[in-house]
Structure 1
């Protein structure tokens, strides 16, 4: 039995793994092009999702107020393993600085890059001094103006170079600083491997001082972990404009696809799915086979209704390529339903007399209802609703393969081996590509509706496995 090495960490090769940038800062209600909202847009263009941590709100009246949830509460909800870089753009008070320090201390073993943006004039001296004494040692990159730097160091007699080197001694690996005359920006490092220099002059046409886009783009690039910190800083001028970044042969970063957005929207459901007894017991071969039999029967009933759904989509689909895909899926679905029971040595079951568990009943009713609504997007919604049954299963299959555990029960081993097949993986990649293309013309509101639909179907998939175990166990005990 062959084994396959699954590279689940590489973006965009497997099309699923998406780096996450934690953005700590302000939610600016005066403009979506400022604060954490602006960071989110940059992250999306540079192929990353955003975990926002809101320190304060800028109200419609341009006043800064404390956010309703404390930073400690927001940090407690973070899955630390999912964070690939951290960007800090604004902290409201000294208590916030201490909360950030506690969080950064908790992720020191994660090799997570931390970028602090001290360019905005919103910072007050008390908060800056708290940062000076607590956060600088955690930083990969510090971006700062000369005026703020001299205030931080309580000295205005130093040259730009001396100021940068004093800051480097406090912990940052790289300091990007503006000169006294606000004419140029330079990156300083203590590492002699940087072209045997300690500084690097940024292109003269770059104005970093307007907003946090510069540091946000660095954080997004570092989250991908394609290049070392030094290489990133040497090419830092490529990040200033998102459009320029996307054209860069150095970065090799693609914008987030819609299916990647979908997947990042259900990370929590996927994480809970991997904890289900049904899957874990199947993997270690301790799952009662009568429970698995019950699952197969429910799957058979599901596929019968899935076929009816596909028929409805074929009748309503206005897209030629999607129509062909639905037709191909219907043919495979019918063949699967025809042999599923016999392949598992189970007798025929009459759907009229075989009870569906609640999860199966609700799932199939939901799918069939999609095809009965009067909606010109029904076939796109159909694609999205069909995706979890393929994508979620493949992700579970990858997880099983990556575990290195090979079930000793043949049926369970066959389940795992199904996901080793490259041809099936290629069909999934085509499905993802088709989905990404057909949603291009959808509005922002329509895409949000599709995300909610995808999440709901993933919840049905979770419930299907969960109830298969619980209801199947009650059957097995009789």
Structure 2
């Protein structure tokens, strides 16, 4: 079994919890509270900005052009493609995407970003890949779960979101990251692989926590409403 498949198997409990979360099931049913969607988009916009920065750190640590090309392609996907599912949420709640940009991060999103940046600065490429991989991987599987579980059609309010993440392009991007992680794991020491495992599992846990953060509209203690 490949290293990436081992990680997926070890974290099935968290994946299943993500699939069962009321935010995810709400997307499938077409019923997510407006304020939860707003909270999600505000946080995810800033999270994805940080995600691209982490890819940039990975580029700076890359020894060959293959890795540089891989991370550059991932940045392009986040920058130019992942605006579409955000726009689907915005259309459903009647709020422009631009209105939801530039807000401070809630605690969980702030922690998630700092977790990724820690591994980006302290670890090698394999460790960075392990920290980043749960985001695209869980989203792809969420898309597949919702597509198969709810069979949404074009009239479903979140059909563009579900279709986007269940698409073969997201599957392909995830598969490439898994393949590259496996290559680094093959030549990693046991201690390095353990750090990869820990980074991957914590990112899985934070993926779950991110959905919960949005659904409960998590805020910092004493935060003023709407401060930008």
Q: Do these two structures clear the TM 0.5 threshold for a shared fold by scoring above it?
A: yes
* 1:355 CA displacement: 2.2
1:364 aligns with 2:113: yes
Secondary structure of the residue aligned to 1:321 is: helix
CA contact (8 A) 1:304 1:337 kept: no
Unpaired segments of 5 or more residues in structure 1? 1-255
Which residue of structure 2 lines up, in the alignment, with residue 269 of structure 1? 14
Q: Distance in 1 between matches of 2:38 and 2:141?
A: 23
Q: 2:212 aligns with which of 452, 466, 474?
A: 466
Q: Distance in 1 between matches of 2:19 and 2:85?
A: 24
Secondary structure of the residue aligned to 2:20 is: coil
Q: Distance in 1 between matches of 2:84 and 2:169?
A: 21
Q: 1:314 aligns with which of 59, 75, 83?
A: 59
Which residue of structure 2 lines up, in the alignment, with residue 402 of structure 1? 148
Secondary structure of the residue aligned to 1:439 is: helix
Q: Distance in 1 between matches of 2:33 and 2:188?
A: 46
CA contact (8 A) 2:62 2:125 kept: yes
CA contact (8 A) 1:281 1:287 kept: yes
CA contact (8 A) 1:300 1:340 kept: no
CA contact (8 A) 1:296 1:340 kept: no
Which residue of structure 2 lines up, in the alignment, with residue 438 of structure 1? 184
Q: 1:284 aligns with which of 22, 25, 29?
A: 29
* 1:310 CA displacement: 1.4
* 1:257 CA displacement: 0.6
CA contact (8 A) 1:439 1:447 kept: yes
CA contact (8 A) 1:341 1:348 kept: no
Q: Distance in 1 between matches of 2:169 and 2:84?
A: 21
- Once the two structures are superposed, what CA deviation does each residue of 1:341-364 show, in whole Å capped at 9, x if it has no partner? 66633334553xx12111100001
Judged with a 3 Å threshold, the aligned counterparts in structure 2 of structure 1 residues 302 and 432 are, in CA distance, closer, same or farther, namely same
Q: Distance in 2 between matches of 1:266 and 1:418?
A: 24
Judged with a 3 Å threshold, the aligned counterparts in structure 2 of structure 1 residues 390 and 397 are, in CA distance, closer, same or farther, namely same
CA contact (8 A) 2:131 2:200 kept: yes
* 1:419 CA displacement: 3.4
Q: Distance in 1 between matches of 2:141 and 2:85?
A: 22
* 1:387 CA displacement: 0.6
Q: Distance in 1 between matches of 2:13 and 2:101?
A: 36
Aligned residues: 213
- Once the two structures are superposed, what CA deviation does each residue of 1:13-41 show, in whole Å capped at 9, x if it has no partner? xxxxxxxxxxxxxxxxxxxxxxxxxxxxx
Q: 1:347 aligns with which of 85, 95, 98?
A: 98
CA contact (8 A) 1:295 1:472 kept: no
CA contact (8 A) 2:14 2:208 kept: yes
- Once the two structures are superposed, what CA deviation does each residue of 1:172-228 show, in whole Å capped at 9, x if it has no partner? xxxxxxxxxxxxxxxxxxxxxxxxxxxxxxxxxxxxxxxxxxxxxxxxxxxxxxxxx
Judged with a 3 Å threshold, the aligned counterparts in structure 2 of structure 1 residues 429 and 340 are, in CA distance, closer, same or farther, namely closer
Judged with a 3 Å threshold, the aligned counterparts in structure 2 of structure 1 residues 265 and 470 are, in CA distance, closer, same or farther, namely same
Name whichever structure is richer in helix by fraction: 2
In our comparison, the structure showing a higher alpha carbon Rg is 1
Which residue of structure 2 lines up, in the alignment, with residue 328 of structure 1? 73
Q: Distance in 1 between matches of 2:166 and 2:52?
A: 26
Unpaired segments of 5 or more residues in structure 2? 91-95, 220-224
RMSD (Å) for aligned C-alpha atoms: 2.4
1:454 aligns with 2:200: yes
* 1:337 CA displacement: 6.9
Q: Distance in 1 between matches of 2:21 and 2:86?
A: 24
Judged with a 3 Å threshold, the aligned counterparts in structure 2 of structure 1 residues 424 and 273 are, in CA distance, closer, same or farther, namely closer
Q: 1:415 aligns with which of 157, 161, 177?
A: 161
TM-score of the superposed pair, with normalisation by structure 1: 0.41
Q: Distance in 2 between matches of 1:433 and 1:313?
A: 16
* 1:405 CA displacement: 3.8
